[in-house]
Amino acid sequence: MMPEYSQPPTGGGAPAQITHNRSPGGTTPVGPTTSRPLDHGTDGRLLKDNLQRHPSTRRKPIGPPALGNRIARASLALLLCLVALPGSAQETEEPSLLTLEQALATTLANHPSLGQAEASLRSAQARSDQAFSSLLPQVSASIGYERSSANSPSQANGVTGESHGLFDTFNSFRFGLSASQLLWDFGQTNNRRRATETTEEIERDNRDLTIQQALLDTRLAYFNATATQAMVQVALDSVANQQRHLEQIEAFVEMGTRPQIDLIQARSDLANARLLLINAENAFELARLDLNLAMGVTGPTDYRLAGDVMPPLEGENDSSGQLLEEALASRLDLSVVDLRIQSQDHQRRAARAAYWPTLSAVASMSEAGSQFDEMAWNFGVGVNLNWSFYQGGRLRAQVREADAELSALQFQRDLVRQQVHSEVEQARLAIRAALSAVEAARESVALAEEQLRLAEGRYENGVGSAIELSDAQLRLTTARADMVQADYNLASARARLLAALGRDW
């Protein structure tokens, strides 16, 4: 059975990349190697309550209009895959198939990084509310009780109007209510509020970036697992062919028409083919573990991949300039840098405003007395002007710091633009190379199959050698492995271009 993807996850992961190395023994293992993913993704059902932006800063929503329906259909299909059959039906059940759409829906529902990003967004929203509260009236109430002496220099009268001893004490009750309202501070508080509101937008884009990254990781891990699954089939075919060759050669050797060394060669080839199968099966198991990690789930890996591929992207053959223009307009990491520049500019303005005074209005009302039935009330209103003329150069240093941070962010924006250009160009070139490689690999497989057919015929007719037959089988296995690699390269390149362009998934 497939792992229960609806369970809460315990970790996240990065995709693996398929590689294979030809060895003298004829093995071409395919295994995962870590690759650095792009920082992109999209949103999903887990975060649907916060996907809409504030009206003043609303951007193009992530995902197509039918996103909810797609996730619902994928989740329903996933649940059907997880239904256990009773009795002996479970023992004979074929491994469940996992589609790419199901894998993406599972990621959206389970990956812990998405919940972490959502929590960070809620934290930023709370900080924005805190900053806005500084512009509103501040009201406080107080209640006090004290028992103290009431000595005076003349000792003529006490609290009750009668003479008392030096150590006599009396009750004192006080109830107070005060309010204050900031009137003007040269934009210091308002700029801090705008900076925190911009930070909220930054966290929203970071949340969307986390979603995009998680989905890219899942796609790459899915294609890697699909490739290793195909390599298992290549290895199985190689073992079957080598076993057939061994049986044929054994018969020829028994009849005395072939030397003993041909039998040793056939057994060696079969052993190498079995080693290739062992390595491929282990790589497939590891690839499924990586896929589980990318989807944010834990559990068994006794499932198979449906073998979904990445369809051609609209405009993937466009010029570099056209693709770059689209990426610069859509990439969320560029939006994050621009928002950080805005936020830092507000912080810089707030730091400069601290040079000037702040004006606020105050009002208070109190009631006090020594007895609850003998209380007197008072009230007062006024204005306060506070101006810090000198603080040891702290304000000037804060302004210099804000200016420097703003300059650093502007350089960072240039760096991100260069990275976007590089990622788009790399993905575009990778697709072009992969398309050519797929065509070449198909031709290579067809030629290798024909070469093996001819080599088998020559050997059966006694004009071919065991080495010729072994070389033909090795070429076919290598050609098929190259075909698997080319298909993986094309699918992963398209997934990376999709992320590099910042397109909705």
What is the Cα gyration radius of the chain?
Answer: 37
Is residue 69 a part of any domain in this protein?
A: yes
Chain centre to alpha carbon of residue 444: 38
How confident is the model at residue 471, as a pLDDT? 93
Q: What CATH number is given to the structural domain containing 34?
A: 1.20.1600.10
Over residues 301-315, the pLDDT tens digits come to 889 999 999 999 999
pLDDT above 80: residue 49: no
Let me know: does 144 contact 174? Beta carbons within 8 Å: yes
Domain extent, residue 246, equals 16-132+187-355+392-500
From the list 90, 115, 73, 40, the residue with the least C-alpha distance to 327 is 40
From the list 464, 94, 18, 3, the residue with the least C-alpha distance to 248 is 464
Structurally, how many domains does the chain consist of? 1
Mean pLDDT of all residues in the chain? Answer: 81
* Band of residue 88 on the pLDDT scale cut at 50, 70, 90: very low
Alpha helices in 301-393, H assignment, sequence order: 320-330, 332-353
How confident is the model at residue 16, as a pLDDT? 38
Alpha helices in 174-309, H assignment, sequence order: 188-255, 260-295
What is the value of pTM for the model shown? 0.74
pLDDT above 70: residue 41: no
Is residue 384 a part of any domain in this protein?
A: no
Q: What is the mean pLDDT of residues 316-344?
A: 93
Is residue 205 a part of any domain in this protein?
A: yes
How confident is the model at residue 35, as a pLDDT? 37
Query: Which residue in the block uniquely carries the two structure tokens 């193009």?
Result: 60
Q: Which of 21-30, 222-231, 382-391 has the highest mean predicted lDDT (pLDDT)? A: 222-231
Over residues 55-82, the pLDDT tens digits come to 333 344 333 334 344 444 444 444 444 4
From the list 212, 222, 264, the residue with the least C-alpha distance to 100 is 222
Q: What is the mean pLDDT of residues 336-343?
A: 94
> Which of 10-14, 261-265, 273-277, 369-373 is least confident?
10-14
Distance (Å, whole) CA 71 – CA 78? 10
Distance (Å, whole) CA 26 – CA 477? 8
pLDDT above 50: residue 328: yes
Please give the DSSP secondary-structure letter assigned to residue 41: B
Task: Supply 383's token pair.
Answer: 């204005």
Is residue 163 a part of any domain in this protein?
A: no
How confident is the model at residue 95, as a pLDDT? 79
How confident is the model at residue 173, as a pLDDT? 87
> Which of 216-225, 319-328, 367-376 is least confident?
367-376
* Band of residue 503 on the pLDDT scale cut at 50, 70, 90: confident
* Band of residue 422 on the pLDDT scale cut at 50, 70, 90: very high
How confident is the model at residue 163, as a pLDDT? 62
pLDDT above 50: residue 135: yes
Is residue 462 a part of any domain in this protein?
A: yes
pLDDT above 80: residue 21: no
| Percent of the chain predicted with pLDDT > 70 | 78
* Band of residue 392 on the pLDDT scale cut at 50, 70, 90: confident
Is residue 226 a part of any domain in this protein?
A: yes
DSSP H or E segment with residue 153: none
pLDDT above 60: residue 85: no
Let me know: does 500 contact 333? Beta carbons within 8 Å: no
How confident is the model at residue 505, as a pLDDT? 55
How confident is the model at residue 154, as a pLDDT? 58
Over residues 443-479, the pLDDT tens digits come to 999 999 999 999 999 998 888 898 999 999 999 999 9
Angle at Cα 42 formed by Cα 39 and Cα 48, nearest 5°? 135
How confident is the model at residue 79, as a pLDDT? 42
How confident is the model at residue 370, as a pLDDT? 79
Over residues 479-496, the pLDDT tens digits come to 999 999 999 999 999 999
Is residue 401 a part of any domain in this protein?
A: yes
Where b means 16+ CB within 10 Å and e means fewer, 337-362 reads: bbbbbbbbbbbbbbbbbbeeebebee
Residue bearing the bigger pLDDT, 146 or 289: 289
* Band of residue 157 on the pLDDT scale cut at 50, 70, 90: very low
Is residue 127 a part of any domain in this protein?
A: yes
**Size (the chain), residues:** 505
pLDDT above 70: residue 23: no
Q: What is the mean pLDDT of residues 380-400?
A: 88
Residue bearing the bigger pLDDT, 73 or 123: 123
Question: Is 394 exposed, middle or buried, given 0-12, 13-18 or 19+ CB atoms closer than 10 A?
Answer: exposed
Task: Supply 441's token pair.
Answer: 């690999």
How confident is the model at residue 64, as a pLDDT? 38
